[in-house]
Structure 1
Amino acid sequence: MIEIEVKARASHISLREKLASMGAKPEGIQKHLDTYYNSPVRDFSETDEALRIRSVDGRSVLTYKGKKLDSVSKTRPEFETEVEGDSARSILVALGFFESGIVRKRREIFSCQGMTIALDSVEGLGEFIEVEKQAESNIEEHREEIFRFLETLGIRKEDSIRTSYLEMVLEKKE
């Protein structure tokens, strides 16, 4: 499965109103603790990959994200599986993986027009919107659909950000 995702900085106050007027369905609010790991064999920051354990409400998910597939979005292969957080961490560390950073965020989730919309408040970084779809084919078509959707919210294609939250957090620390 390919995750087609576009992210941009955006004020949540105006977005909530616009989403409500479009009939977006609120799906809930989550607090994410994302712990990223790097490989003992290759540097994921150089290969454009990501490995993380996301903890939300006592549930943990291990996610691998492959290299981005285009130059205008965050579209990439993604694989996830639910894990027991402490055991998964122990396994990764025993295999030589090491923690590369932590991202904390509050995520308000909506669904609209077959897309998942996340209004993210990221600790130390500010407010963002992420719009995503999962697909196996017609990737470019779905990506352009996301960009058209964002345009209706007042967010232009040029406003999109390909930099991950982890990269932003690490850049801020330097």
Structure 2
Amino acid sequence: MIEIEIKARASHEHLKKMLSGMGADFIGVENHSDTYYNAPHRDFAQTDEALRIRSVNGRSVLTYKGQKLDTISKTREEFETEVDGTNARSILLALGYFESGNVSKTREIFKYDDITIVLDSVEGLGEFVEVEIVAESDSDISKKRLFDCLEKLRIRQEDTIRTSYLEMLLDL
């Protein structure tokens, strides 16, 4: 699957009012603890890939994200599978992978048509909004729909960010 995602820094108080006015459905709140890993044979920061174990409410998911596919969004191939977080960490470390950083955030999730809208409060970074569609293939139509959604939230394309939370935290 292809994750087509666009992110921007934004005040949540303002966005919650706008999402309500648009008729977006509130799905719930999750606390995410993400541990990122790097490979012994290549540097994911150089290859623009990501490997993480995300823990949410006692459940862990191993995620691999491939290279970004364009220059305007965070569109990339993504694979996920539920794992035992402790065992997955042990396997990765035994194979020579090493922890490259941690990201902790609170995520409020909304749904608007087939678009997922999340409001992230990231420890050490502040407030962000992400809009996302998961599709079979990369699509300019899907990207346009995401930018249109952001425009409804009064966020301009030039205000979007392609840098990951981990990259932002490592740059502090």
Deviation at 1:135, TM superposition (A): 0.6
Partner of 2:153: 153
Partner of 2:69: 69
Across the aligned residues of Structure 1 and Structure 2, the Cα RMSD in angstroms comes to 0.6
Question: After superposition, where does 1:92-171 map in structure 2 within 5 Å?
Answer: 92-137=92-137, 139-171=139-171
For residues 138 and 100 of structure 1, what CA distance do their matches in structure 2 show? 28
AA partner of residue 30 (structure 1): E
Deviation at 1:138, TM superposition (A): 5.5
Total equivalences in the alignment: 172
| Identical-residue share of aligned pairs (%) | 66
For residues 46 and 136 of structure 2, what CA distance do their matches in structure 1 show? 26
Partner of 1:22: 22
For residues 129 and 28 of structure 1, what CA distance do their matches in structure 2 show? 15
Query: Structure 1-normalised TM-score?
Result: 0.98
Question: After superposition, where does 1:19-98 map in structure 2 within 5 Å?
Answer: 19-98=19-98
1:101-139 Cα deviation digits (max 9, x unpaired): 000000000000211010000000000000000011351
List alignment gaps of at least 5 residues for structure 2. Answer: none
For residues 155 and 53 of structure 1, what CA distance do their matches in structure 2 show? 30
AA partner of residue 26 (structure 2): P
Query: Structure 2-normalised TM-score?
Result: 0.99
For residues 136 and 161 of structure 1, what CA distance do their matches in structure 2 show? 23
1:11-54 Cα deviation digits (max 9, x unpaired): 00010000001111011000000000000000000000000000
AA partner of residue 143 (structure 1): K
List alignment gaps of at least 5 residues for structure 1. Answer: none
